[in-house]
Amino acid sequence: MSQRVLTTESGAPVADNQNSATAGVGGPLLLQDQHLLEKLARFNRERIPERVVHARGSGAYGHFEVTDDVTAYTHAAFLGEIGKRTEVFARFSTVADNLGGADAVRDPRGFALKFYTEEGNYDLVGNNTPVFFIKDPLKFPDFIHSQKRDPFSGKQEPDNVWDFWAHAPEATHQVTWLMGDRGIPASYRHMNGYGSHTYQWTNAAGEAFFVKYHFKTNQGIRCLSTEQAQELAGKDPNSHQTDLLQAIERGVHPSWTLYAQIMPAADAAEYRFNPFDLTKVWPHRDHPLQRVGRLVLDRNPDNVFAEVEQAAFSPNNFVPGIGPSADKMLQGRLFAYADAHRYRLGVNHTQLAVNAPRATTADNYGRDGLMAANSQGRYAKNYEPNSYDGPAETGRPLAAPLPVTGHTGTHAAPQHTKDDDFYQAGELYRLMSEEEKRRLVANIAGGLAQVSRDDVIEKNLAHFHAADPEYGRRVREAVEALRED
């Protein structure tokens, strides 16, 4: 029986379904990659009306205050002086489940922030883990499909979950995070947040730096065991929402300290692994944490639907002094997030109160569309340039340009000297105490032992063994013991 050929929606054969087209090896993505855009655009339109991912969420308002001078690295105005405060809206969420799902589940948590700066809104969209399962956005719809409800059974299937991970060795690091002790936060207040992606900062002199964000909870890390989470999810499916709401209402305002890892842009090419790979962390010994400021949440929304459900975060909402990197996952999300909001909330979702700028005014030529509220009067023009004193371009880019070389095409990520899908997962495992390792192995085996195909189990076991031989052996023994019962 011949192998079926994967095609686009129009029936054209797909040459490469693993790597997005880039401007040279390691370069940014290309708008001409029809397969990527079609795949992401179709994926964004699969659910009505809830979010495809991060559907179950909670939010709160607060402020960010600068505590340390970072003007040597960025000229972003909201980071421009010690003591400066900027209003913020935060949304926390689970990733895989539907809007009615329980909060206390083993799942990454979204950690999204909207800074209402005087230069426009800056959206930082991250998670409570510093890494992710995949490194190319072309694989994102497939990954989420494997984790969501099966089209036939209507529930999450271990066969699908572990089959995808079996074919994605780069997921081993994030799987180790997810199945470890931090896989189920006790509340949104008791977890860290990470920008996860690599971003670019540019200073007033035009010098470029790459940066990773770390929001360290000031409440301390608290997590749940699998058994505790199952009990809590049954008693109060809204446990994280309840905790955040009640804490703020009684005046206990959660806070996080923001640290940044900073790398001169010139160092990226020769770094020992690809610094734009979302499945890897930058070791702190290479790039120590530098304190930036403090995030405080002190006000609950008045209407969850209007302010939490309609909140729209797009990583392409940058401000002067901050921009993207060649991180392929980030590049894909620059398109996908904004497109999802246009579909889900309408093209004028940026005019909703929670999404509109607060410290400045949006002034552009966007008009009409569903729920338009920006006619701007009979004399306002909707084209540029014009002779009627309409808003004009500044000619000043938000961030430094990214150099590109080579030929267009569906390139695999460039190989650095120490690129590896398993080393950092092994490092994480070896940092754990014996009790942490025992719980990690039990969590993995509990899911993997439910898989019906032996070849899928073997592929996953090989990943854990490649990360650390002891890790792989212990998972194998635990899976075999469960399957014999």
Return the ∠ at Cα 419 (arms to 413 and 423), rounded to 5°. Answer: 135
Of the candidates 171, 126, 121, 125, the residue with the CA atom closest to the CA atom of residue 144:
171
Give the Cα separation of 449 and 464 in Å (integer).
15
Give the Cα separation of 13 and 7 in Å (integer).
4
Mind telling me the catalytic residues? 54, 127
* Nearby residues of 253 by Cβ (< 8 Å), 6 or more positions away: 62, 247, 296, 297, 298
* Nearby residues of 103 by Cβ (< 8 Å), 6 or more positions away: 56, 94, 233, 237, 238, 239, 240, 241
Q: What single letter denotes the amino acid at residue 468?
A: D
Tokens of 435: 């009790």
Return the ∠ at Cα 43 (arms to 122 and 332), rounded to 5°. Answer: 40
Partnered with residue 255 across adjacent β-strands are 296
The total number of residues shown for the chain amounts to: 485
Residue located via tokens 């105490």: 433
CB under 8 A, 24+ apart: contacts of 479-483: 479/445, 479/448, 479/449, 481/445, 482/445, 482/446, 482/449, 483/449
Give the Cα separation of 476 and 461 in Å (integer).
6
- φ/ψ of residue 301, rounded to 5: -65, 150
